[in-house]
Copies of this chain bind each other. A is one copy, B any other.
Amino acid sequence: MKHSAEIISVGTELLLGNITNTDARDISIMLSELGINVFYHTVVGDNPERLKDVVAIAKKRADIIITTGGLGPTCDDLTKQTLAEAFGLKLIYDEQEAETMRQYFKTRLHANRPITQNNYQQVYLPEGCTVFHNTCGTAPGCAFEAQGVHVLMLPGPPRECMTMFRLSAMPYLQKLSGDEIISHNLHIFGMGESSVEDRLRSRMLELQNPTLAPYAKDGEVRLRVTAKAASADEAEALCRPVIEEVRGILGSLIYGVDTDSLENTAYGLLKKAGKTLAAAESCTGGLLAKRITDIPGASSVFLGSAVTYASGAKTALVGVSPATLAAHGAVSAEVAREMASGARRTFGSDLGIGITGLVGPDGDGSDTPVGTVFIALDAEGTIYCRGVHLGTDRQRGRTMAVHHAFDMIRRYLTGLEIE
């Protein structure tokens, strides 16, 4: 039986726009990987009457209800009471969770904070429920089945919510389907979503298990391969030939499977090869450096970046020749190449990246079209350069330019064509 889910997020802050509903998005991604359809997201405030109405509607149209938020210790937190009532269940004091909470207060940063009566509200849970421990906070979650509906309640703070989802809700939901579900994400750079779809359309329509679904994310394209079987091994075995088939079609456009990002891929390859990286950035203004240093441990491969926004700084920091700047202009392949080499020399790295371009929204008065960007890689003495047109959206242009730089690095380190 194919399940259908509704996610109900509880919190007035969501309705005021003070926070973004990332929980509903992230749970949806996981449910989609589990093969569970999500037909509705609902957001409702900390108001028991309206929450009651919303639950009454959800009971009629979904057989899995997942709530987020409203499990905390304040008088606003009414999710458990309201849901238990809606399904005719009593709330029962859970001594084991009370003890867990006492331990949490003792060992974390709360040594001096007393446990109030309100905190104990959190450990009243629906009779007969499966308790979901909260490994990042104090409010436990839970799940129960009643009136033909599975109800799962998770805390609102994203870290607590998603950790509990992975550790407790995921296994609970997997048991429901009886099947094991395995999903793999193929990360693609260098081809748009519609072209990927064109190449794979007939297979996407034919395939039932595993399924094949492309989606665009942050200027990249991803392909999700999801298989269902009686065991994880069997599901894995169903995925494998399809992944190989897609690899055959898209080749080196696939930069990774189940990896995080282009920068993580580049970082991993640099680390494995024992090579270091430095950069000189103009139009991306430090974004390349920012992205690779988002990774804890980046210092093992990344030496630094000269953000040479002013033309003079290109000469002062990474030795771009004033003659080259005068002859070709700051936005040119020649300057990008000198920046890449200069970065390598200045920082003493194995690989150097140079990025210069005009990312808009406005032109600079010259003939150079907005969106023109040159990305150069000096790889241990050989210089490669890409010239691209990235459109007039400033943030997108900057993001794509840095994608290209990391893509050139991974292509160099895996022996692929670069330019």
Contacts and interface: CB of A to CB of B under 8 A. Distances in A.
Given A29-B17, A299-B310, A24 B43 contact: yes
B304 A304 contact: no
B296 A361 contact: yes
Nearest to A282: B304
Given A20-B20, A42-B40, A45-B39, A286 B305 contact: yes
A296 B15 CA distance: 32
A144 to B, nearest CB: 24
A317 B304 contact: yes
A290 B290 contact: yes
A289 B296 contact: no
A288 B286 contact: yes
Contacts of A293: 283-286, 307, 309
Interface residues of A, number: 73
Contacts of A287: 286, 290
Nearest to A306: B306
A290 B317 CA distance: 18
A91 interface: no
Contacts of A346: 316-317
A167 to B, nearest CB: 18
Contacts of A26: 17
A390 to B, nearest CB: 13
A24 B21 contact: yes
Residue among A14, A50, A360 facing the most chain B CB atoms (10 A cut-off): A14
A298 interface: yes
A303 interface: yes
B313 A347 contact: yes
A132 to B, nearest CB: 20
A30 B16 CA distance: 9
A35 to B, nearest CB: 12
A205 interface: no
A1 interface: no
Interface string A36-48: 0011111111010
Interface in A17-31: 17-22, 24-31
Contact of A44 (B39, B44, B304): B39
A377 interface: no
A165 interface: no
A375 B290 CA distance: 17
Given A38-B15, A302-B309, A296 B24 contact: no
A125 interface: no
Nearest to A285: B293
Contacts of A42: 40-43
Nearest to A305: B307
A292 interface: yes
Contact of A317 (B28, B299, B306): B306
Contact of A309 (B19, B54, B298): B298
Interface of A: 13-22, 24-32, 38-45, 47, 50, 53-54, 57, 61, 215-217, 278, 281, 283-290, 292-294, 296, 298-299, 302-310, 312-313, 316-317, 346-348, 360-362, 394-395
27 contacts: A15-B28, A16-B32, A16-B38, A17-B25, A17-B26, A18-B216, A18-B217, A20-B20, A20-B21, A21-B21, A39-B45, A39-B47, A40-B43, A278-B313, A285-B290, A285-B302, A286-B290, A286-B293, A286-B305, A286-B307, A289-B289, A289-B309, A296-B362, A296-B394, A304-B307, A306-B307, A310-B347
Given A285-B292, A310-B347, 8 more contacts: A14-B41, A16-B28, A41-B43, A286-B286, A286-B287, A286-B293, A302-B309, A304-B309
